[in-house]
Amino acid sequence: MAKTTIITLLLILSFLLQACSKEDSSQANTIIINKNEFVLTALDNKQYVVKKEVDGYSLEGAKGKVVIFDIFATWCPPCRATAPHLTSLKRKFSKDLVIIGVTIEDDLPNQKLADFRHTYDANYILVNSLQNRRLVNSMAGFLKLGNNFPIPIMAIFKDGKLVKHYLGLVEEEFVESDIKRALGH
């Protein structure tokens, strides 16, 4: 009986240690600067630092530029329809606009995101990072969207201040107007 108890305890202990080591290894891959900073990794492995500000979010190195965060999923039809319009805006405002597509999909293979870029003409920064979910949840809270929000979400910021946000599919002309207003045109 004592032998069975010892073996059972050893099995339980090994499962616990195995689960902890798995959790620890995924934690090691996540770079957290602090709770108000997010390090996002793009398809080309370039990293982008996003900071939570009092009035919104800012992108390191984008002072004076308009930054659009497009929160999307590769399987979402309105998200697919939005991608070419964002690419068009990127071309129109190439010097003054940064667009970052932040997928809500966990464990998405980079190839699937690259296929999305190619198929739907998403020629702007696409991030597939362990911190995507942290940023999306933080932004949804900031925008007061609750836990179950629709996608796509397009949040437009300039120098850390919210300009406008949209839920769902939106006309390119509306977004262009907001970009021009933010740039003072």
Q: Report, as residue numbers or ranges, the catalytic residues.
A: 76, 79
55 burial type by CB count under 10 A (0-12 exposed, 13-18 middle, 19+ buried): exposed
CB contact at 8 A, 163 and 156: yes
Q: What is the C-alpha to C-alpha distance for residues 169 and 167, in angstroms, rounded to an integer?
A: 7
- Which strands, in side-by-side order, build the sheet including 97-103? 125-127, 97-103, 66-72, 153-158, 161-167
For residue 136 the two structure tokens come to: 């999306």
